[in-house]
A and B are shown apart, each in its own frame.
Chain A
Amino acid sequence: MSELVSRQQAAVAAQGDTNSPLRDHHVHPPHLAHHFESPAQQYDSAKIGMWVFLATELLMFGGLFCAYSVYRHNHPEVFEYAHHYLDKFWGAFNTVVLITSSLTMAWGVRMAQMGAKRGLIVCLVLTLLGGVGFMIVKSIEYSHKYHEHVWIGAGNKYSKAYNGPRNEEGPLSAQHSETNALTDKEREHTATLNQMAKPVATTEPVGQPWRDPNMGTPDEAKIKPMQVIPAGLSEAARQQQIKAVDEHKHSIKYEDLPQIEKDRVATFFNIYFMMTGLHGIHVLVGMGLITWVLIRATKNEFGPTYFTPVDLVGLYWHLVDLIWIFLFPLLYLIH
C-alpha cells in the first residue's frame, strides 16, 4: 500500500523530469492494471468485454422474443384480444422516459470525457430519475393488472388454473371486471347469473387443479369449464351481457374467439410478464450501477484519461433502452 503510493508520487514527480528513468520505463496511471500495456489497451479490452456481455444479454432476451414470435405466429387473435389490457399511453410514456434517460446517459459520458464533474453528476442523477420514473409507471401497470385478475399463472382469470374469485361478481365479470359499464338492468341479469352459477361452483371446487383430459381415461366431469353460462339465460340476453363489457374496449370480442384460442389468452399475459419483468429487473440493475458510478463521480474519479465505468454502465443502460424499443410496439401496439 505505502509502496504503491510512493511509486505514484514518484511517477507524478517524474512527469516533469524528462531524464527520469521512471518516465519512459514503468510510469503508469493509478487506474492502469499491471497486465495491460497501456490505458488505451485496457480501455479497448474493457469495451470488448462489455460488448460480449451485451451480446449474451441479447441472446437471453432472444429466448423470450422467440417464445413471443412462435406464439404470436400461431395465435394472432389471442394477441389482438389480450393486448387491449395494456395501456398504449403508459407504454408510450415509458418509451419517452427511457429515450430521455438514454440521452442524459450519453451526455453524461461526454461530460465524463471532458472532466466536467458537475455536469456528469447532473446527467447521472437525471438518468437515475428516468429509471425511477419508468419503474413507478411499471408498478402502476402491474398493480392494475393484478386487480383486474390478469396476473401471472393462476392469478389470471383466463387461465384454467385460475384460483381467484370466480363467481363473486358474476361469471361474466370474472372475465371482465368492468361492471361499471353495465346498466341497472344488466346488473340485475348479473345478479341472476350469480344465483344460477353458485350451485355449479360448489360442485366444482375452485381450488381443484385442472386435469389434462389427455392423460389417462378421458373424464368429462374433470374438465373444468372456463366460463359458466347458466342454461336459463336466453341467448339474446347472454349476447347483450358480453357486448356491454366487451364492446367499449375490445376490437375482438372474447366470445368471437375460437374455444381453443380462449384457452390460450392467459399465455399472452405470461409472456408479457416474463418479458417486461426481465426487462424491469435490468432497469433496476442499471439503476444500481448508475448509483455506483454516481458515488464514484462525486469522489472526482473520472476524467479524460479514465471514464471506463461511466462508458460501460452507459452501454448497459442503452441496451435496456434498446430492448424496450422492441418490447413497446410488440406488446402494446398490436394492430
Chain B
Amino acid sequence: MSTTPHNGDQLHAPGAHAHGEGEVHVHLVPPWLLLGVFAALLFFTFVTVAVTYVDFGRTINVWIALGVAVAKAALVALFFMHLRWDSPFNGLVFIASLFFVALFIGIAVLDTKEYNVNFLPPTSTSARPQ
C-alpha cells in the first residue's frame, strides 16, 4: 500500500477526468445487479433452510445443501468479488485453490474407511466388571 505523503485536495483533481494510458480501469457494478445478487442470496438461504425439513435421505440432503452453498459462493465470487469482469488470472488463482482443497478433502475421505474406527474400546458401564 502506498504511503507516499500527499495532500488530499491534490489527489483527485488531476486524475478524475483523465483517460490516459495506465489509468486504473474503473468498472462500476450496476445497482440492479448488486440488488439482484443480494435477492438471489437471500432466496438460496431460504431454500437451504427449507430443504432440511424435507427428507431426501442423508446423502441427498447433504449434496443439496452443498449445491446451494456452491451456487451462493459462485454469485458472491462472480459479482460481489468482481471476478466476472476481472483479469482471468485472479479467477485462476481462486479456482486453483479450490481445486487443491477439493483434492485434499477428496483423497483424505477416500481412505478414511481403511482405518479401524474402533481402536479405542467403548467406555460403557457394561464394560466394567459386574
Contacts and interface: CB of A to CB of B under 8 A. Distances in A.
B23 A74 contact: no
Interface in A269-320: 299-301, 303-309, 311, 314-315, 318-319
Interface in B116-130: 117-125, 127-129
B124 A225 contact: yes
A173 interface: no
Contacts of A236: none
Contact of A305 (B21, B23, B73, B113): B23
A225 B128 CA distance: 9
Interface residues of B, number: 82
B105 A306 contact: no
Interface string B90-124: 10011011101100110011001100011111111
A88 B26 contact: no
Max count, chain B CB within 10 A of own CB: residue among A37, A106, A113, A299 = A106
A228 B125 contact: yes
A8 B94 CA distance: 38
Given A99-B41, A106-B80, A220-B127, A55 B97 contact: yes
Interface string A94-110: 01100110110111011
Given A48-B90, A226-B123, A263-B123, A31 B38 contact: no
Contacts of B86: 47
Contacts of B49: 88, 92, 333
Contact of B93 (A48, A75, A106): A48
Contacts of B66: 329
B120 A303 contact: no
A326 B90 contact: no
A19 interface: no
Interface in A213-250: 213-214, 220, 223-229
Interface in A313-335: 314-315, 318-319, 321-322, 325-326, 328-330, 333-335
A164 B125 CA distance: 20
A319 B90 CA distance: 14
Nearest to B14: A15
A303 B16 contact: yes
Given A88-B49, A305-B24, A329 B58 contact: no
A114 B49 CA distance: 37
Interface SS of A by simple majority: helix
Contacts of A43: 24
B24 A306 contact: yes
Given A33-B2, A40-B24, A12 B80 contact: no
B5 A5 contact: yes
Given A11-B14, A30-B10, A48-B93, A66 B105 contact: yes
Contact of A58 (B25, B45, B98): B98
Contacts of B58: 76, 335
Interface in A183-240: 212-214, 220, 223-229
A20 interface: no
A227 to B, nearest CB: 7
A214 B119 contact: yes
Given A69-B109, A96-B42, A212-B120, A62 B14 contact: no
B54 to A, nearest CB: 8
Nearest to A230: B125
Contacts of A29: 11, 14-15
11 contacts: A30-B4, A38-B22, A40-B24, A47-B90, A56-B97, A65-B105, A74-B112, A102-B76, A107-B34, A325-B73, A335-B55
